[in-house]
Amino acid sequence: MVIIFAVVALSCLVVYHSSDTSPFSGDYYSFAAGTFLADSDIDLDELKFILKNATMSNNTVIITTLNDAWAEPNSMFDLLLESFHIGNQTKKFLKHLVVVTLDQKAYARCLTLHPHCYNLSTRGTDFSEEAYYMTQDYLKMMWRRIDFLRNVLDLGYNFVFTDADIMWFRDPFPKFYMEADFQIASDYFNGNPLDLKNKPNGGFNYVKSNNKTIQFYKFWYNSRLIYPRLHDQDVFNKIKFSPFIKDVGLRIRFLDTGYFGGFCQPSKDLNKVCTMHANCCVGLENKVHDLGIMLDDWRKYKSSLVNRTSTHEYAGSWTVPQLCRGSFHRRRVTKKKDDRGRKSWLSRTFFSINPHTPFW
């Protein structure tokens, strides 16, 4: 019996290490094509109606996601909408923005501010509170997003997905790679858009609807079962080297932080920036504070262009991050809603970070 037990244990260990080093070797097509649907309800008729009303002429929509914490007044949703209003010819994109809300309260507020709102329910999960980085609710929310976006591709729509903590300052479409199927923002960009060693950020991507991207999103979503403790961005970093990517012919491009910057690697020239992301930052209060300052920086830049007396272009500069600097290490106070929906101080927590996680 001891010998049998030892043989079985050794076999399991070999299988485990084999799957860890090359989890998609072998029949990865069956794995990618499998359906592991989220525990949610998608009203396809309503979704089709909203996408049809929001689409551009080339069947492209812009999508963001919100929960109650991010949709509250003077929070992330208000900042995002303001950026579209004060950006350089970005207001036109609001009629193509689909706001996907993750709880009823966020949906109700969206309806008061925006024409294209879709409520995405998830059975047995309350996404209304702030989902702290790498908690179970955070992971569920990230993977729920990936599965939803796969549905959008299935319906034949291209999309630009943008996190709500990304401010839009210019039209991004001229800076996209027209030959790419899937292009994604970078936390850190090394100058080569083809290099898979770039550090991606899943908060901003432009994806064309075709069989390659649909299969890829299934593959990406199903890969969460192989890496159960990782979020979508870290899993993408694993599977981007998979032979599946090459075999289906998916053309991946990484976006230049000179145009699509963030707190990790800011876009230094305000004459070129298209979007800026509050990445390398945790905590809703920290993000809201610094993004408000970022919008002020942009207003000052625009004002300087109007009032300048010479032909020399003013480059401007960002005065952020401020509170976001060091936010991964800093002890913070969490909040919880009471029975009347008001937020109260609950406890102090530390963020645990990976030693390779970038921070300020």
- In 3D space, the residue among 80, 63, 211 whose CA is nearest the CA of residue 146 turns out to be 63
Q: Is the pLDDT of residue 338 over 50?
A: no
pLDDT digits (tens, 9 = 90+) for 79-114: 999 999 999 999 999 999 999 999 999 999 999 999
- In 3D space, the residue among 275, 269, 274, 285 whose CA is nearest the CA of residue 322 turns out to be 285
Which helix (H) or strand (E) element contains residue 337?
strand 332-337
Q: How is residue 83 written in tokens?
A: 């950026």
**Model confidence at 142, in pLDDT bands (50, 70, 90)?**
confident
Average pLDDT over residues 142-146: 85
Find the angle CA(356)-CA(358)-CA(360) to the nearest 5 degrees: 140
- In 3D space, the residue among 193, 208, 189, 222 whose CA is nearest the CA of residue 250 turns out to be 208
pTM: 0.82
> What is the dotted CATH code of the domain comprising 44-262?
3.90.550
CB of 323 closer than 8 Å to CB of 286:
yes
Average pLDDT over residues 320-344: 67
* Reduced 3-state DSSP string for 230-263: CCHHHHHHHHCCCHHHHHHCCCEEECCCCCEEEC
CB atoms within 10 A of CB 235: 22
Who wins on pLDDT, 249 or 357?
Answer: 249
pLDDT digits (tens, 9 = 90+) for 292-317: 999 999 999 999 988 776 556 666 89
- Where do the domains of the chain lie? 44-262
CB of 285 closer than 8 Å to CB of 214:
no
User: Which residues have a Cβ under 8 Å from the Cβ of 17 and sit 6 or more positions away?
Assistant: none
CB of 223 closer than 8 Å to CB of 177:
no
Residue 26: strand, helix, or coil: coil
